[in-house]
Amino acid sequence: MGRNADLHRRRGAAIARGVGHSLSVYAQRAHNAELWDVEGRHYIDFAGGIGVLNTGHLHPRVVAALQQQLQQFSHTCFQVTPYESYVTLAERLNAVAPGATPKKSILFSTGAEAVENALKIARYHTRRSAVLAFAGGFHGRTFAAMTLTGKVQPYKAGFGPLLPEVFHAPFPIAYHGITAQDSLAAIEQLFKADVDPARVAAVIIEPVLGEGGFYAAPPEFLRSLRTLCDSHGMLLIADEVQSGFARTGRMFAFEHAGVEPDLMTVAKSIAGGLPLSAVIGKAEIMDSPLPGGLGGTYAGSPLACAAGLAVLDVIREEHLVERAQQLGAALVSRLKALQVKYGAIGDVRGLGAMVAIELVKNRRADQPDAELARALVQAAARHGLIILSCGVYGNVIRFLAPLTIGDALLAEGLERLEAALAEIAPAAMAATG
């Protein structure tokens, strides 16, 4: 039995099956956009640990910052003995967040924790309890985040009772025939039939659905939500956990719409692989909860803060915002060429380097092919490429390669993708009908 198979057997025996798995490949080491498994096999990483590695595996600047921090201290708890890096990181996050209103930040460890706390802040500030979220959205696996998530299987089923007073509206998805007007009409309907908008504390939205399939909200829809929130005294929360930190060709995806959210949740690529998240928001709102109401033992750990500061330097110095635009254009153009050849690729879309293909049968948007997506993930791995599926129907392949990937490696990764498509070509071509 190979090392991967052996580890997989041990995993099955020792680890709760609730942790899903995409590949049975166990990592040994990684560098920038490349990874080697425990059997020495080489992979190009187009997954980045689910969008965590916009600055790549072990960026030298991040490694140096961590090494320096380890010479000093690894933990004090910010509530007990604070440290400068947390303060500086908050200052720098406030400075890069969209909009002119003065900002404040608070740090946590995971995306779900940021979402929970954004909701706490919104409720405290508005003294209201209800929340509006979107079908297909993903906000995490803790109780509030799970309730806000707009997908029952596997995230919510069996885990109830969930948070009360959470309502879901359809997310505007042109490919599936849902317009911004449809979504806005559904929200108006919710306000008529289900909840008084005067009870709604906040609307939370991913500017680009991540787990839900890489659909970008039309900019005019985000602007309409801003107006709607203002007219009803509701807060607008941008969940930028997956779309933030240069991924979409802007520092944050909300910038594409020119909209300033009241609160923003960030995590993933904020710290190059260290567990760190934040809520960034308008200072007056952020200061609503009393001291002690927010925080956590590990929240904003010194190691994570050191990495976070290095990541912000790398994004600026290596021009990763512009790089995301170039990478996205290169990816989309190559994937569109593949779409001509492989009828199973129903849609190619991207906002900056947040790029995806949607796999369908008979070239029909309403005939998702999740089985093909699963097969492609496995075939790609056999060809040395790590990709991830997503989407409400599991039929979307998303590309989240580090923005620091070189052109040659990107091209080689796309070659491997094509080889994988060719391997499962009978299925992919048959889908042309």
User: Contacting ligand PLP (CB under 6 A), which of 66, 241, 279, 311?
Assistant: 241
Residue 267 binding ligand PLP, by CB under 6 A: yes
Name the one range near ligand PLP by CB under 6 A: 126-134, 152-160, 206-214, 316-324: 206-214
Residue 405 binding ligand PLP, by CB under 6 A: no
Residue 115 binding ligand PLP, by CB under 6 A: yes
Alpha carbon distance 111, 85 (integer Å): 20
Copy the structure tokens of residue 198.
Answer: 């005067």
Asked whether the CA dihedral 183, 188, 190, 193 is positive or negative, the reply is negative
- Judged by CB, which is closer to ligand PLP: 126, or 243? 243
Kindly report the number of other CB atoms within 10 A of residue 58's CB atom: 15
User: Contacting ligand PLP (CB under 6 A), which of 32, 54, 69, 110?
Assistant: 110
Residue 247 binding ligand PLP, by CB under 6 A: no
Alpha carbon distance 389, 399 (integer Å): 9
What phi and psi, each to the nearest 5 degrees, are found at residue 272? 55, 25
Alpha carbon distance 9, 273 (integer Å): 27
Q: Tell which positions 42-61 bind ligand PLP, by CB under 6 A.
A: 50
Residue 37 binding ligand PLP, by CB under 6 A: no
- Judged by CB, which is closer to ligand PLP: 235, or 420? 235
Residue 422 C-beta: closest distance to ligand PLP, Å: 31
The label of the residue with tokens 């890489």 reads 214
- Judged by CB, which is closer to ligand PLP: 48, or 56? 48
Q: Max alpha carbon distance in the chain (Å)?
A: 65
Say if CB 325 and CB 246 are below 8 A apart. Answer: no
- By three-state DSSP, how is residue 229 classified? helix
User: Contacting ligand PLP (CB under 6 A), which of 242, 248, 269, 395?
Assistant: 242
Write the DSSP string, 382-400. Answer: HTTEE-EEESTTS-EEEE-
Residue 116 binding ligand PLP, by CB under 6 A: no
HSE of 188, CA atoms in CB hemisphere, 13 A: 7
Say if CB 152 and CB 137 are below 8 A apart. Answer: no
Helix (H) or strand (E) holding 123: helix 111-126
Residue nearest to ligand PLP (CB): 111
User: Contacting ligand PLP (CB under 6 A), which of 211, 347, 369, 418?
Assistant: 211
Residue 138 binding ligand PLP, by CB under 6 A: yes
Residue 252 binding ligand PLP, by CB under 6 A: no
- Judged by CB, which is closer to ligand PLP: 140, or 150? 140
What phi and psi, each to the nearest 5 degrees, are found at residue 300? 65, 50
Name the one range near ligand PLP by CB under 6 A: 20-28, 107-115, 121-129, 360-368: 107-115
Residue 71 C-beta: closest distance to ligand PLP, Å: 28
- Judged by CB, which is closer to ligand PLP: 7, or 50? 50
The residues, ordered by sequence, that sit 6+ positions from 326 with a Cβ below 8 Å of its Cβ are none
382: amino acid identity, one letter: R
Asked whether the CA dihedral 325, 331, 332, 333 is positive or negative, the reply is positive
Residue 227 C-beta: closest distance to ligand PLP, Å: 23
Copy the structure tokens of residue 14.
Answer: 């020792």
- Judged by CB, which is closer to ligand PLP: 239, or 418? 239
User: Contacting ligand PLP (CB under 6 A), which of 62, 112, 306, 431?
Assistant: 112
Residue 294 C-beta: closest distance to ligand PLP, Å: 17
- Judged by CB, which is closer to ligand PLP: 360, or 403? 403
From the number of C-beta atoms within 10 Å of its C-beta (0-12, 13-18, 19+), residue 189 rates as exposed
Counting residues that bind ligand PLP (by CB under 6 A) gives 15
Residue 140 binding ligand PLP, by CB under 6 A: yes
385: amino acid identity, one letter: L
- By three-state DSSP, how is residue 298 classified? coil
User: Contacting ligand PLP (CB under 6 A), which of 57, 59, 139, 256?
Assistant: 139
The residues binding ligand PLP (CB under 6 A) are 50, 110-112, 115, 138-140, 206, 210-211, 239, 241-242, 267
